[in-house]
Amino acid sequence: MAEIEVNQGQTLEMRRPLSPHLTVYRPMLTMMMSIAHRITGGALYLGTVLLVWYLLAAATGGAAFGFASWFFGSFVGQLVLFAFTFALLHHFFGGIRHLIWDAGYGFDKDWREYLAIGTLAASVATTLILFIAAHLA
């Protein structure tokens, strides 16, 4: 707390206002999608590092590429690839949602909810479709 001197040695306590916290707000789908958009953006950094590792292993030669291929073919590697694919697609569809907003559309309550549900549904559906297609090929 800061103190301000008023008159003749008297001090006045100044209480700074606190920014509202998550406990103040009721969680809404659009808020959760915004948080997920930020988290998936961060997760894409880790996924890009893994992609670079795979490409460097392919350029390096047999043993390194064999290990990278083994890792990405393992159960844990498949989970990592699934999560990276979901993060990429969720961030992509969230970006489209923001592009629609930037164009000046979709701000009324119903459309905000539709866009949030659409972002989640499209990212889950395309992730599943891509993984099913990759495992059937």
Helix axes 75-102, 109-136, angle to 10 degrees: 150
What separation, in Å, do the N-terminal and C-terminal C-alpha atoms of the chain show?
A: 64
Read off the pTM. 0.79
Backbone angles phi, psi at 82, to 5 degrees: -65, -45
For residue range 118-135, list pLDDT tens digits in order: 999 999 999 999 999 999
For residue range 52-108, list pLDDT tens digits in order: 999 999 999 889 999 999 999 999 999 999 999 999 999 999 999 999 999 999 999
Burial of 94 (0-12, 13-18, 19+ CB in 10 A): buried
Task: Please identify, in words, the CATH class of the domain defined by 29-136.
Answer: mainly alpha
Give CA torsion, residues 90, 99, 35, 43, to 10 deg: 50
